[in-house]
Structure 1
Amino acid sequence: MVLFLGCNRIDNNQIVAQVNNDILTIDVLYALVPDFSQLDSLQKAQYVENWIQETLLKQAAEKILLDRDPLFNQQVETYRRRLLADKMMQKYMNESAVVSEQEIRNYYDAHQESFKRNEDEVFALHVLLPTLDEARELRKILRDNDLDKKAVVLRKYQNETGLFKLGDLIPEIRNRLAQSREVDVFGPINTDYGYHIMNVTQWYSKDSMRPLEEVWDEIAGRLSIDKQMDVRLARIDALRAQANVSFHPSLFTQESK
């Protein structure tokens, strides 16, 4: 079955929901919610149910001509103006606010002092286990470099791998690592949370330089923000120069009298 809506033909198989003459198709749904496919079935159903409820209320409002209220139409125009302005600015950003690899490298070279570590750091695997025996077993697995058993254990227990500032670690772990300052498997370390294993594979001393690959995204973010501000100001100035713009702040004073 094919429905006609205005000049558009709609395949009935594409209709997700319908309230009288208002239709929600699968194509429109995915366009409105780009990550719709990643939602679970309950979330998808809830989104469509919200659309149905809102559409019912919208149709009820139209029946009593609420959509003809001048204030309502001003609010719609305000939303439309802001939405179009955002889309236009995004177009400008995509065209002019792209940060190049060379710009990132130049920024890193020119600001190396700001990329020095302000305290000691370690790159490590941290695992929290509930019992002493399990922690001892993991320590042996890591020291034996048994990758298969390691993968099984890490799927079972809470763990994280990355850079850790010593000052951010709980005192029991921080003190244990600071006593050695070696690349090693530390633990079991008993705390109120359980038994910790720290597999330290790299030490970084205070005042050492963070490598470019470590701060790449950070620099890209900084430069992107700066570029976006510059692009916005430049584009607005260019548009203002081509337009007939007037502003009368004196009216604010008259209004307050």
Structure 2
Amino acid sequence: MSRVWWGVVLFFFLFAFPVQAKDSTVIARVGPYTLTRADFEKELAQNPQLRALLSLKPEMKRVLVERWVEVNLLGLGGKEAGLEKDPRIRAEIEEQTRMILARHYFERKVLSGLKVTEAEMQRYYLRHKKDYTLPERVQAQHILIRVPEGADKKTEAAALAKAREIRQKLLAGADFATMAKKYSQDPGTRDKGGDLGLFSRGQMIPEFEKAVFKLKVGEISPPIRTRFGYHIVRISARIPAQVQPYKKVKEQVRKDLLEEKKNQRLMALLRELRKKYPVEVHLENLP
């Protein structure tokens, strides 16, 4: 069985224990353990990976049920063999139990009833407008004359001279896109007339970005040296930073506010638990 399917089966292993479900229609039984339709539907609702797998291959539902049966048969065999008494296995069981308890406690104490109102969302948006602000962007074209890594002074000088020659032609009125298609050594943009599209600060290498954002619209830059070589750049448009309207980012605001509330609840819960249970951390003992 693939690692993915074993992971899915481990989710379903939770259903090996008797539960009271809304739909008690039985899909499979193994000894005292029952898998119901409600169990199956609940797992589908909570597991996007599983939903995706089964939507692509519905026939795998049968395989999943067969694996559920096999896992529980093996589990019953291990129980009969007394493996629960093995200290290492008992430690694993205890660890898994803690993880399951932690997940359900988190869901009950943090996620349960977590919601936001329209008024809260609008207040959050107003407080965090900077988070929904598109940064200043420029539309640029470039022509690259490459300089190989470790190039000697002669090669470096020749590349710079070529870049300066191209710039002079552009200043004299040559069409930038035509020149880029003819001379640029950037295969990713050459056939597009050197078009780099819209970009903001932080998306390009620092030395390129620093020079480009100083340019005025329509200005042709002097050769800009980067690790790739020499760039001649022209800015065709500059879009100032702008706050996106609430309606456009409403769903993102909802997600962000829910995340904030969730984190606040979690931090408060952990502070409460730290007061209740002793905690020791010895980072100096890390390997």
Q: How does 1:121-140 map to 2 (within 5 A)?
A: none
2:52 paired with 1:18: no
Indicate the SS of the match to 1:18.
strand
Using the alignment, how far apart are the partners of 1:114 and 1:30 within structure 2?
Answer: 38
2:258 paired with 1:224: yes
Indicate the SS of the match to 1:77.
helix
Higher fraction of strand: 1
User: Could you tell me how far 1:114 is from its partner in structure 2?
Assistant: 4.0
Which position in structure 1 is the counterpart of 2:74? 57
Task: Answer whether contact 1:17 1:24 (CA < 8 A) is retained.
Answer: yes
User: Could you tell me how far 1:174 is from its partner in structure 2?
Assistant: 10
Task: Answer whether contact 1:14 1:27 (CA < 8 A) is retained.
Answer: yes
Q: How does 1:1-257 map to 2 (within 5 A)?
A: 14-34=25-45, 39=55, 40-95=57-112, 97-118=114-135, 119=137, 172=192, 205-241=239-275, 243=276, 245-247=277-279
User: Could you tell me how far 1:110 is from its partner in structure 2?
Assistant: 3.0
Indicate the SS of the match to 1:41.
coil
Indicate the SS of the match to 2:242.
coil
Which position in structure 1 is the counterpart of 2:12? none
Structure 1 pair 107/246, CA: closer, same or farther in 2 (3 Å)? closer
Structure 1 unaligned blocks of 5 or more: 1-6, 122-169, 179-204
Structure 1 pair 107/248, CA: closer, same or farther in 2 (3 Å)? closer
Task: Answer whether contact 1:116 1:206 (CA < 8 A) is retained.
Answer: no
Using the alignment, how far apart are the partners of 1:173 and 1:105 within structure 2?
Answer: 43
1:127-164 Cα shifts (integer Å, max 9, x gaps): xxxxxxxxxxxxxxxxxxxxxxxxxxxxxxxxxxxxxx
Task: Answer whether contact 1:97 1:231 (CA < 8 A) is retained.
Answer: no
Aligned length: 170
Query: What amino acid is the match of 1:25?
Result: T
Using the alignment, how far apart are the partners of 2:19 and 2:78 within structure 1?
Answer: 25
TM-score by length of 2: 0.46
Percent of aligned pairs with the same amino acid: 18
User: Could you tell me how far 1:113 is from its partner in structure 2?
Assistant: 4.0
Using the alignment, how far apart are the partners of 1:213 and 1:174 within structure 2?
Answer: 35
1:91-146 Cα shifts (integer Å, max 9, x gaps): 2223574333223212322333443333379xxxxxxxxxxxxxxxxxxxxxxxxx
